[in-house]
Every structure is written in structure tokens, then in C-alpha cells.
Structure 1
Amino acid sequence: MSLTTWILTAGFAGLAVLGMPFAFAIGLCVIAVVLSVGIEPMLFPQTVVAGTQSFALLAIPFFMLAGELMSAGGLSQRLVRVAEVFVRHLPGGMDLAVVLAALVFAAVSGSAPATTAAIGAIMIPAMVARGYDKAYATALVVSAGVLAPLIPPSIAFVIWGVIAEQSISRLFLSGVLPGLLMALGMAVIAVTRALRSPMPREKRASLREIATALREGVWALLAPVVVLGGIYGGAFTPTEAAVVACVYALFIGLVVERRLTLAQLPGIIAKAMAISAIVMAIVAVSSGFSFLIAQEQLAGKLAAWLATHFHEKWTMLLALNIGFFLLAAVMDEVAIMVILGPMLIGIANQFGVDPIHFGAMIVTNVAIGMAAPPIGYCLFVGMAVSGLKLWPVARAILPFVAMMLVVLGLVTYLPAFALLLVP
């Protein structure tokens, strides 16, 4: 291997193992290559700037902010209340409420960490108070939170759409059925667990309680209708939808619900900016990494190697899924998409994989990686909310991860799961 290849692979792996943040590890590797092989030094700052110059990427900070505004403005509590009154009397009623609330919240925020934090802050203490094991409650919230990369509008699909130069709206639609299938799998696990070790069931909600919950939660329920209806009705682009979501959440929180105050806004904006900065830093520095990978023709070499060792498309897809899942378990998912994206797209094209189907497969894998031990991002968000250590939550989440892998298999080998709703 060339010196560039060694630095980009072994060098990056070494820095990651030592615990260096991924953005810094990627950036240092790119700088090391630039200095060691005589590339023009201005390459790095130019590619960093170029990596962020996409209109579609503006959706990331705005969807992050929309999620924070919804949480602070009380809309997430309203969503949980609506979900509870419809399913609380069923076996695993609180579990089902978590999944339903996460589905609706994800359809506005587009962010798995925001969904996990918003739903977890409400439901983990409530479930523990009613006798649920805290590790299981945390695992369920984390699993429900990672539906956000699949349910439109999804930040993961925005990033992949920019990388793959595909229609973000079509990618959004490719994630709907996989996301709903995962939600159904979580519901099956929850109900099965409830039947085996019965938890006290809540009393069925009266019509008056349902009407009250719907009346109080109407603005929260309308949020995804406004955002998704605007996108697919042609009123605005996904990026503009992120701004609309922010304005809507801000208006409801300040004027209608009046649970937001102007004094809270600087802190809310700062929190959203901090999370967005992490994502955008990785996207920016990974552009230089991707440029060097392309210059070394690593994509072509890997594609040739796969073509030599995997003669059938199904075996190639299996190998990619296994490799991607293993990387996602120990590496930031955004970094994987941005660094390996061009390489993966080239391989998929060589084997004749539909680009929208391939995007759905990649983002499904990303969603699983956010929940998978040992460093799934949402896993750590759930741990922060519940105060638990890694091992109890990791052990409790394994059935959910196994179910998600089954869904990944269906998405991979039955393209209709991804393409049925795509025009």
C-alpha cells in the first residue's frame, strides 16, 4: 500500500482507537497526507469549505433546532400524552406509546438524538415509576429514537442525498416502509415481553380523556402534516421545510402553548448549534478524506476486489452490510457515510443496484449503528437520560438490534420495501 493509504486507514484507525474525536482524527490524517506526499497545502482548507457548500445541508441545523424547540415548548409531552391514551390499556401499553410518540416526533425533527432525548426524558422516568426495568426502558427509547433516520424528514437521508447526488424527497419516501416495519418489530417485542411478564395495565382511556388529549395535542400532531405535506405538496424543499418546522415550533411554543419564553431561546439555539457543529465538522473534514480516497483510486480497487471475490450481487450486498454494520458499531455513522459514500456508490453502480434502494439500505444500517453497542450515538444519549452504564443498556437492547438486522435483510434483498412508495 502507498503511504497515503496507510495514513488514511491505519493512521485513522489508530487515532480513533485512542479516543480522538472523529472530526479531529479525519482532519489530522488529511493534513498528514498533504504534508507527507507534497500535495498543495491549500487543498485541505479548500475541501473543508467545499464540503459544506450545499444548500441541502442547511436542513441539518434547522431540523436540530426544530427538535429542541418542540421539546422545550411542550410539544413532545403532548405527543406522548396522545399516544398513551390510545394504547395504554393494551399489553405493553407504555412501550407502544414510546414507539408511537417517537414516530410522530421523528417526522418533525429528523434527528435520532433529538428524538431519543425528547421521548426519553418523559418516558424513562414514567416507565420506571410504573415498575419497568430501567435498562429495558432505556433500550426501548433508544430503539424508538433511531427510527428518525428512516422516517422523513431525515437528516441521514439529507446527508446521503448530498453525497450520492440523488433526490432527497425520493430518498425520504424510501425510508417510510423500513421505518414502519422497524416500529412494528418493536411493538411485537414489547407485547411479547408484556405477555410473558405481565406489567400492571392502565385503565382504558375514556372518550373524554381521548378528546382532551387530542385537543391539547392538536398542534403537535399538525407539525408533521405541515412539514411533510409542504414537501410532497411542492410548497417547499426539504431544506425550506426545516426552516418551516422551526418557525412552526417557535410560534406554537411562544404564542399558543406559551411554554417557551424569549429568555430560553439563546440556550435552546446554543444546544442545537452544538449538536449541528459536530455533524457539520465531520462532513467538512471528511470531504478532504474522500478526495484523497478518490485520488488513490481506492474505490476502484475495492470494487475490483469485490468483483473478484463476490460474483453475485447478493453476496456483495451481504459483504457490504456486514462491513458497514461492524464499522457503525465502533465509528460515527456520519463519518462512515461521508468517507465511504463515494466508494460505496461506485461499487453499487458496478453491480447495478438502484441508487435509491442503495440509499435506503445504507441509512437503515446507519439507524442500527446509532443503537448498536459499543458506541452507538443514541445509546449514549439514552444512558445520559437514564443515568445507567453501558453494559445493562447494551444487554437490554440486543433483541431490538437483532430485529433491526432482520429488517435490514428485507430492505437489502426485497427492494420493494424501499421502492414501493417512491415515484
Structure 2
Amino acid sequence: MSGIGYALVFGTLALVIARVPLALALGLSSALALYLAHIDMVVLAQRFIASTQSFSLLAIPFFVLAGDLMTKGGISRRLVNVADVLVRHRTGGLGMVMVLAAAFFAAISGSAPATTAAIGTIMIPEMEKRGYSRPFAAALAVSGGIIGPLIPPSIPLVIWGVMSEQSISRLFMAGVVPGLLLAVGLMVISWSHARRNAIPVQAPASWRERREAINEGKWALLGPVFVLGGIYGGIVTPTEAAVVAVVFALLVGRFAYRELTLPTIISVSRVSIRTMTMVMFIIAAANGFGWLIAFEQLPAKLTGALSQFADHPVIFILMLNLVLLVIGCLMDNLAAMIILSSLLIPIGNQLGIDPIQFGAMVTINFTMGMATPPFGYALFVGAAISKQPIGAIARAMLPMLGVMVLVLLATAFVPPVTLFLQSVLH
């Protein structure tokens, strides 16, 4: 590896260890590499600007804003009520309510931290009242939040689609079955936990309660119909669907549920803009970084280093997933996806894996990082709303991480898990 490669890899690591913000660390190491390569610095600025000029990237700020508006506008609470009247009478029913509500919310927001915050804020105190330990409730909220980036729409899948130049609609379809498998697995864990700890079963909801909850939540339940129906019906693109989600959240929260006021909308918008500014800064810096990685031919070198396992595809894929899981634990998931896309795409091509299946596999790996320290944003949200130590939540989450690994292995080794749905719809 040349001086340019060392500047990129070790320069970035040194700056991150020194707690320099990630986007700034990427930009500084890229600038050093350009200096060593005697390339005009204006190239880096051009790469920064070019990377943000993608129409598909507009989906991200709108989905972030939509998730925040739905939380403040009462949509998430009504989704929880609907899930509650459907499954609360089962063993582990309240945990199942959380998972089911997270799946409903995921079908509109596409964000793990937003899903954890929206559902966990309501459900964690309620689960503690009904006999569940607070760390387990927080762990289930964090794990339920991970459904957010899998069931479409999904912010990480939008990013991967942009970076890999794959169809975002097809990637969305690839996330449906893994997301549902994760939801089922988490519901089984909730059932098992409740049975082991003899948690009382709640009384079933009456038909009147069910009718009232569904009637009150009918607008919230229409969200996935508008967003996903528009995408798969060919009416809107994924980017346009994000705008539809924002308009839907505004209209329902303001006029149907009357919980969104002008000051609330302004406050939510400020938070969303701040979040999106950080994401776009990372995308811009990572694009220049990725261009230099390709310039240095690091993908070819990494592929060559792994080629000794080419005759054993199963071992190759297992090793690749292990590496990605470790990276996902140590880096921000979106940053890792953006930075490593130029390295990973050639590897996927060499393995002969369908690019849509490969994209889903990579996304699940890095999404799991949201539930693990030190960069687990969903874990941080769960700790903040539950007021529990991260260590206690992480211990309670071990069985749930096991389910996530099983879903990941199914995605990696069973192509129909990601490709069956699109083969039916197309």
C-alpha cells in the first residue's frame, strides 16, 4: 500500500480515535492523500458537491422529517393502540404489541432511531407496569427499532441504492421478508420471556374496544397504503413517496388528530434539518474518500487478499459478514455503508451474488450496528428514554441479537428471502 493508502486508512483512524468528527476526519485524510498524490485540491471540492446532487438523496431528509412529525402528531400512539387491541391477550402480548407497532411505524418512517423513540416512549413504562423488567422493555424497543430500516421505506436502503446504482424500489422489496422475519422472531422472544417469568396475561379487548381503536387509528393505518402503495403501484418514485409521507404526517397530525401546532412543526423541522445536515456532510466527505479509495485500487487489493477463499464461497461469505458486523459495531452505519460501498460492490460481483440480495445483506449487517455500542444510535435512544445503562440493555438484548444474526444468515444464503417478493410483483 502506498503513502496515499496509508494516509486514507491510518489517517482517518487516527483522527477518529482523537475524536475528530467523522465527516471532518474523512475530509482531512482525503485532503492529505490528494496532497501526497499531487492532485489539485479543487477535485475534492468537486467530489463533495457532485455527491450531494442526487435526486434520490432527497428521500432521506423527507423520511426523517416524516418520522418526527408522526411521533409528535399522535400517529405513533394510535398505531400502538391498534396493535394493543389485537395481540395484548396473548402470552407476552404487551411485548408483541411493541413489535407490531414498530412494524407499522417502520412502514412509514424508515428510521431505526425514530421507530425506537416513537414506540419505546409509549411502551417501555407500560411494559414495566405489567411486570416486564425495564432493561428487557428497552432492549425490545431498540430491537423493534431495527425493523425500521428493513421494512420499506428505508433510509439505509436509499443510501445503498444511490451508492451502488441499484433500483431503490427493488431494494425496498428485498427488505420486506427479512423485516417480517425479524418481527416474528422478536415476538417469539417476547412470548418466551413472558412465559419464563410468569408475566400475567391481559384481558382480551372487547369488540367495541377493537372497533374504537381501529376507527381512531384509521388515518395512521392508511400511511403505509399511501407511501408503499404509491411506490409499488408505479404512481410515485421512492423520493416522491418521502414527500407524500411528510404531507400525510402534516395533514393527519394537524387536521385529523389536531396534535400538530405551528410551533411544534417549526421545532420538529429544526431537529430534522440538524440531523440531515450531519448526514449530508458525511455523505459528501465519504464520497471524496471513496473516490480516492478507488483511485488507489484498494478494492482490487482487498478482493485479491480474500481470493484465497474463493473456492469456498460459504466460508467467504461468512468471513465477509463477520467483518461487516464488526465494522457496523465500530462505525456509524450510514458512514460505513457510504465509505465501504466502493470496496464491497466489486466483492459482491466476484461472489456472483445478485446485487439486490447483496445490498440487503450489507444493509442488515450495518443496521445491526445501530443496536450495539459504540455507535448504536437506536441503543442510545433506548437508553435515553428508558433511563437504563447501556450495558444492562445490551445484556437483555443478547437473544434478540441472535434472532438478527439468523435473519442475516437467511438473507445471505437463501436468495428467495430477498428476491421472491420482487419476482412475484415483477
Structure 2 residue identity aligned to 1:117: A
Equivalent position of 1:211 in the other structure: 211
Displacement, 1:192? 0.6
Q: Say if 2:143 and 2:371, in contact at 8 Å, map to a contact too.
A: yes
- Give deviations 1:76-103, integer Å, cap 9, x for gaps: 0000010011111111111000100000
Structure 2 residue identity aligned to 1:74: G
Q: Say if 1:59 and 1:243, in contact at 8 Å, map to a contact too.
A: yes
Equivalent position of 1:257 in the other structure: 257
Equivalent position of 1:48 in the other structure: 48
Deviates further, 368-377 or 172-181: 368-377
Deviates further, 8-17 or 113-122: 8-17
Displacement, 1:151? 0.3
Map residues 234-383 of structure 1 onto 2, 5 A cutoff. 234-383=234-383
Equivalent position of 2:100 in the other structure: 100
Equivalent position of 1:154 in the other structure: 154
Identity level (%): 49
Q: Say if 1:116 and 1:381, in contact at 8 Å, map to a contact too.
A: yes
What is the distance in 2 between the residues matched to 1:311 and 1:241?
A: 43
What is the distance in 1 between the residues matched to 2:227 and 2:44?
A: 37
Q: Say if 1:372 and 1:401, in contact at 8 Å, map to a contact too.
A: no
Displacement, 1:336? 1.1
- Give deviations 1:389-412, integer Å, cap 9, x for gaps: 221111111111111111111111
Deviates further, 3-12 or 70-79: 3-12
Equivalent position of 1:389 in the other structure: 389
- Give deviations 1:375-401, integer Å, cap 9, x for gaps: 312111111111222211111111111
Q: Say if 1:51 and 1:283, in contact at 8 Å, map to a contact too.
A: yes
CA RMSD of aligned residues (A): 1.2
Equivalent position of 1:114 in the other structure: 114
Structure 1 residue identity aligned to 2:44: F
Q: Say if 1:56 and 1:162, in contact at 8 Å, map to a contact too.
A: yes
Equivalent position of 1:27 in the other structure: 27
What is the distance in 2 between the residues matched to 1:388 and 1:21?
A: 26
Displacement, 1:194? 0.7
- Give deviations 1:305-346, integer Å, cap 9, x for gaps: 211344222222111101000010111111111111121111
Displacement, 1:37? 3.1
Q: Give the TM-score taking structure 1 as reference length.
A: 0.98
Structure 2 residue identity aligned to 1:35: Y
Q: Say if 1:63 and 1:110, in contact at 8 Å, map to a contact too.
A: yes
Displacement, 1:105? 0.5
For the pair 1:228 / 2:235, whether they are aligned, the reply is: no
Q: Say if 2:22 and 2:282, in contact at 8 Å, map to a contact too.
A: yes
Q: Say if 1:67 and 1:111, in contact at 8 Å, map to a contact too.
A: yes
Deviating above 3 A after TM superposition, structure 1's stretches of 4 or more consecutive aligned residues are none
What is the distance in 1 between the residues matched to 2:25 and 2:420?
A: 40
SS in 2 for 1:131: coil
Q: Say if 2:106 and 2:115, in contact at 8 Å, map to a contact too.
A: yes
What is the distance in 1 between the residues matched to 2:285 and 2:383?
A: 28
What is the distance in 2 between the residues matched to 1:324 and 1:294?
A: 19
**Pair 1:23–1:105, CA change in 2 (3 A):** same
Q: Say if 1:48 and 1:285, in contact at 8 Å, map to a contact too.
A: yes
Q: Say if 1:174 and 1:422, in contact at 8 Å, map to a contact too.
A: yes
- Give deviations 1:227-259, integer Å, cap 9, x for gaps: 000001111000000000100110011111111
Displacement, 1:46? 1.0
What is the distance in 2 between the residues matched to 1:132 and 1:74?
A: 25
Deviates further, 271-280 or 397-406: 271-280
- Give deviations 1:359-378, integer Å, cap 9, x for gaps: 11111112211112333121
SS in 2 for 1:205: coil
SS in 1 for 2:330: coil
Equivalent position of 1:65 in the other structure: 65
Q: Say if 2:309 and 2:315, in contact at 8 Å, map to a contact too.
A: no
SS in 1 for 2:397: helix
